[in-house]
Every structure is written in structure tokens, then in C-alpha cells.
Chains A and B, each alone.
Chain A
Amino acid sequence: NAGVTQTPKFQVLKTGQSMTLQCAQDMNHEYMSWYRQDPGMGLRLIHYSVGAGITDQGEVPNGYNVSRSTTEDFPLRLLSAAPSQTSVYFCASSYSIGGEAEQFFGPGTRLTVL
């Protein structure tokens, strides 16, 4: 099992550009989520999904879109990048909703917006 994979590992964008961060898991987990982690801080939930076709907002959803067309994939789209979105982004999956079971995390994507 590859677990949770994320691409790219690093990305530099200019303000106003858009891009998609990819996330995939091969554990057949229903629950997937996206977090951002700013320096010296914990993770903040951006969006999450409890199954294919179902997504919901987390704590900091503005400026981000998600979709869940398959169980395996959960891409995160930045619509118009801003310097405030410079952060490390982690995708996670779990067989149950967020707090009921351990979450498996990807290695992260380091995004810099100039």
C-alpha cells in the first residue's frame, strides 16, 4: 500500500494563479480531509469529505474548492492564489469520521505564493 500520496511536493505560484493539489489514497477510506499548517502552528481544517460526492467546509475554506468524484481521490483547488495561502498542505484519510479513528497523513505539499 502506498498510503496517502500528494503531488506536487513543492510549488511556487504567482498571485492570482490557480492550481490543483492532488491527493490519493489506496486504503479504501471513506473520510478524507485537507489541512494547512502555517509555521509553528497546528493544522487547520480546510475541507473534508465523508464519501464520494459529499464534501463540506472546515475551519478555513475561503479561497479553496474541493470535489470527490471517487473514493480514492480528493483534489484541492486554489482558485486565485494569494500570499496568505503560502503554507504546507496536508491531505489525510481515515476509515471513519475525523475523530473516531486515526488519520493517515500524506507527506505534504509546500506552497509558496509570491
Chain B
Amino acid sequence: SQQGEEDPQALSIQEGENATMNCSYKTSINNLQWYRQNSGRGLVHLILIRSNEREKHSGRLRVTLDTSKKSSSLLITASRAADTASYFCATDIAGKSTFGDGTTLTVKP
């Protein structure tokens, strides 16, 4: 079974709006990562947050981590059409990365 599960499966917003996607996981983790995948391409790393961190920012991205609830969220502010992609969270169990099924974000111009 998947360690990380993203919610929602799909999200459609207008350009300029904020997009929030969530990731839940089942076991204790050392860190959690978010990746983006444009259609037909490989994954690109966005941000890594460690278990002792609660929030992390990178440009228009804000990631939170709540280890008590075993959940993380990715917020993309002031979205752009170029943000249209699938977003995945990944967790690590004994050195093996496990990915969720992703959230597909569509940003309409």
C-alpha cells in the first residue's frame, strides 16, 4: 500500500489563485519531499522538509509538516498557467522512497 497519499486527486483553479494539496502518510518519517511532474516528463524536486521542521518556504511554495497527524501540505501562491502539472509527495522508509499517486493541478489562464 502507498505510504504517501495526496488529496485531492485533481484540482482546477484560475490563474492568480492559491492551490493547496495535501499528503498523508502512515509511518514515522525522517523527512518528506515534494516533486512536480509536467506531462510526459520526469519528476523535478521542489522541496524537502525534515521531521523537525514545521514549515518551509521556497519562492511561491510553502510546505508544512505535522508529524502528529502524519500529514503535509503544499501551498502554491499566485498560481500561473505554468504551474499546471502533477505534484507528488515522497517519503522514505529505510532508504527506499515511496511516492503517492499525486495531485493533478490545472491552472486556467
- Which residue numbers of A lie inside 8 Å of B, CB to CB? 4, 33, 35, 40-45, 48, 50, 58-59, 90, 92, 97-108
Contacts and interface: CB of A to CB of B under 8 A. Distances in A.
B92 interface: yes
Interface of B: 2, 4, 29-31, 33, 40-45, 48, 88, 90-93, 95-102
A50 B100 CA distance: 23
A97 B99 CA distance: 15
Contacts of A107: 41-42
B96 A59 contact: yes
A42 B100 contact: yes
A99 B88 contact: no
Q: Is the interface of A mostly helix, strand, loop or mixed?
A: loop
12 contacts: A40-B101, A42-B2, A42-B99, A43-B97, A90-B43, A98-B95, A98-B97, A99-B30, A99-B93, A99-B96, A102-B45, A103-B45
Contacts of B42: 4, 90, 92, 105-108
Given A99-B31, A107-B42, A58 B92 contact: no
Contact of B92 (A4, A42, A97, A106): A97
Nearest to B47: A102
A48 B40 CA distance: 23
